[in-house]
A = this chain, B = another copy of it.
Amino acid sequence: MSASLLEQLIDALRVLPGVGGKSAQRMAYQLLERDRDGGRRLSAALAQAMEHVGHCAQCRDFTEGPLCAICASASRDRHQLCAVETPADRLAIEQATGYRGLYFVLQGRLSPLDGIGPRELGLERLSARLAEGEVSELIIATNPTVEGEATAHYLAQLARQAKVRPMRLAHGVPLGGELEYVDRGTLSHAFGSRSEMG
């Protein structure tokens, strides 16, 4: 007997991070019983995004065009580059600080056990960018977690190889915390007092 459409939906919902069998079941019932329009809207939004959202050719952030708005802007300082783990981190820095340089969005952090290495983070592209000579400062804003720190050290090496100064956010970001949850004041202070990596 093949799986019913309801069973297929419950199974498909489990691709979402943090959603187990019971949550998926509850989600499916809720949509079917109380919000079919919401379910249809989610279906369409998923289809559109999976098909048409790509990566910015320069910074790897998500974008629908060839370049994201920040990389395409003529008013950003091209000598500063800030590496972040996620688009949410980029947004947090953008909103909390007066930073006017460019970004590089890793879309993750080095995590060998999960099969995420330099290749998955697009680090060849970052190296090539640093080698072009326009960037003088790489601000490494990965999270202050074990994997984030390991990633930071790897990025610092890439920077030094290209004769670019590797900078790290100042202490102030709580250890073990996630950057995107830090309050604006702390993040702004940490960003302002960044120091060269030893």
* Interface size counted on chain A using CB atoms at 8 A: 49
Q: Is the CB of B41 within 8 A of A15?
A: yes
A8 to B52, CA, bound (A): 12
Contact among B6, B8, B15, B16 for A62, CB-based, below 8 A: B6
The verdict on A31 contacting chain B, using a C-beta distance below 8 Å, is: yes
Tell me whether B47 and A32 are in contact (CB under 8 A): no
- Tell me if A183 counts as interface (CB < 8 A to partner B): no
CA A12 – CA B44 in complex, angstroms? 9
**Residues 56-73 (chain A) with a chain B CB within 8 angstroms:** 62-64
A50-B36 in contact given A18-B23, A26-B17, A42-B15 (Cβ < 8 Å) = yes
Chain B residues contacting A63 (CB-CB under 8 Å) are: 4
Q: Is A39 in contact with chain B by the CB < 8 A criterion?
A: yes
The reply to whether the CB of A108 lies closer than 8 angstroms to some CB of chain B is: yes
Do A46 and B43 touch (CB < 8 A)? Answer: yes
Not counting A6-B87, A32-B53, a sample of 17 additional A-B residue pairs whose C-beta atoms are within 8 angstroms of each other reads A4-B63, A5-B52, A5-B64, A9-B45, A12-B41, A12-B44, A13-B42, A13-B45, A16-B27, A16-B30, A18-B27, A31-B49, A32-B50, A32-B62, A39-B49, A42-B46, A43-B50
Between A and B, 29 residue pairs with Cβ closer than 8 Å are: A4-B63, A5-B48, A5-B64, A6-B53, A6-B87, A9-B46, A12-B38, A12-B45, A13-B16, A13-B42, A13-B45, A15-B35, A15-B39, A15-B42, A16-B16, A16-B27, A16-B30, A17-B30, A18-B26, A29-B62, A31-B50, A32-B49, A33-B108, A39-B49, A39-B50, A40-B47, A42-B43, A43-B46, A46-B46
